[in-house]
Structure 1
């Protein structure tokens, strides 16, 4: 299987698990290479996510590593299979960064998504007009055709909320400043707030607003998102810098972020009061 130029987070996690299993079994890369009758470089590429792995190869390695946990073996097989499957976002490889493609892949498998936002409406709840303003502000030299590709990609990403069988639960806490921003002017913001209010009424969507009047809160270090995945996979936290998307998978750190999010939700307005505030601000525009 050819090496992946930009390994996804799923491939990195699969490779990391295989490395840990090999080390726990006390085997060297040389020994693993002998199992697959391949060079050491291939094992290294598998363990760093640069190479995928075939089902027969994975089975051989798990036997060599004396893995008897059927649930773990099935989870790793699922990861390997997903790494080979072509998903809709592959069509947008020229305009989607590796980090963004990783996020879409994670969201497609999530049981629930939690988002704390201080400046922007989260991507899953944005209108196309709002998206266009953000993409133009982010890259002033973006060609119009590329901009529309970004909009189509994000709109397709939002489709997970419409899937009656797999729609994840979405919990959002917004700092009130998000609602008062003037991205694109009154018309764009009125449409965005109206859409936000409509989405907030969905059964599996919860939107809360943390008001200006809150004198202190736990979200001062900036926005973040939490992807809660089905067992036995590990939940993931997403944070962003000016130039990249970062993912946190350490259990203790993820637990800390979950605690912060729960505290933000406890401090914020109730979903009903938040909906009334969003509607009121939309009417004023």
Structure 2
């Protein structure tokens, strides 16, 4: 995500200087496609390239140049999740990066408890269902990654606000057995008390709603260069959307669902009733 920010800033500097792709490429003796890929965060930022571009775009203040280069060096470092690359698909690396930078994470979950709120036993059962042929060590690595992601909600400073609408189906589907489900509901009850977590349950009785087609997440950031991003998952990957019209459609659907679902202040009572039935 830091590469995305720096790429956008490079594009702004180039445009402000009135320099086109071809001229910028000539300054580095590369193709114009390389400049485009740098601005779109599709490649790492080579420090000599970045420094030469800054000079070409008229950035001459030494402190400003060094500040930009320091961010570029930071952007080239692998994220903490890199050590889980053996069990982390490329499409999900982007998800974890978005998750880590977001100030607000909103989601609709029709099937499972969100990964950020799962217990170890629940996560293990979910991963086993999705990867029936995977060896035990792969499942355990996946559980470890999921637990590491959860530290996001208690980080200091500035943990993100997590606002989730879950279908009642999530709480009714027996995953891992009764004991696992009871422990998972207890985890959700505890989450309701967290100041940066808001949970709502969409009851069966509410009928149809605008997002019955599948799960999705919406990420919002404090960094001005980053637009809202929607992640819509499927069986083999995910689609990421950041065009305003696309994101607006998901936001509207989720807003309608929040109005239709049980209010957040009643979620603990809903969880308690369902737990007694398990």
The match for 2:218 among 218, 226, 230 is 226
Contact 1:238 1:245 in 2 (8 A): yes
The match for 2:254 among 237, 261, 275 is 261
Q: Secondary structure at the match of 1:133?
A: helix
Cα separation, partners in 2 of 1:261 and 1:81, compared to 1, 3 Å? farther
Q: Relative to structure 2, which stretch is displaced further, 81-90 or 201-210? A: 81-90
Q: Which residue of 2 aligns with 1:250?
A: 243
Q: Which residue of 2 aligns with 1:278?
A: 271
Cα separation, partners in 2 of 1:76 and 1:256, compared to 1, 3 Å? farther
* Distance across 2 between alignment mates of 1:242 and 1:229: 27
Contact 1:172 1:208 in 2 (8 A): yes
Residues 49-105 of structure 1 deviation map (CA, whole Å, 9 limit, x = unaligned): 4421245533543564579xxxxx999878744431232101011110112111111
Cα separation, partners in 2 of 1:13 and 1:249, compared to 1, 3 Å? farther
* Cα displacement (A) at 1:211: 0.8
* Cα displacement (A) at 1:253: 1.7
* Cα displacement (A) at 1:153: 0.6
Aligned residue pair count: 273
The match for 1:95 among 74, 82, 87 is 87
Aligned pairs (5 A) from 1:1-285: 11=3, 15=7, 27=19, 29-38=21-30, 42-43=34-35, 45-47=37-39, 49-55=41-47, 57-58=49-50, 60-62=52-54, 64=56, 80-232=72-224, 233-285=226-278
| CA-based RMSD | 2.9
* Cα displacement (A) at 1:264: 1.1
* Cα displacement (A) at 1:236: 0.8
Cα separation, partners in 2 of 1:44 and 1:221, compared to 1, 3 Å? same
Contact 1:160 1:166 in 2 (8 A): no
Q: Secondary structure at the match of 1:239?
A: strand
Q: Secondary structure at the match of 1:182?
A: coil
Q: Which residue of 1 aligns with 2:62?
A: none
- TM-score with structure 2 setting the length: 0.86
Structure 1: which 5+ runs fail to align?
1-8, 68-72
Cα separation, partners in 2 of 1:74 and 1:110, compared to 1, 3 Å? farther
* Distance across 1 between alignment mates of 2:68 and 2:92: 23
* Distance across 2 between alignment mates of 1:41 and 1:251: 25
Cα separation, partners in 2 of 1:105 and 1:81, compared to 1, 3 Å? farther
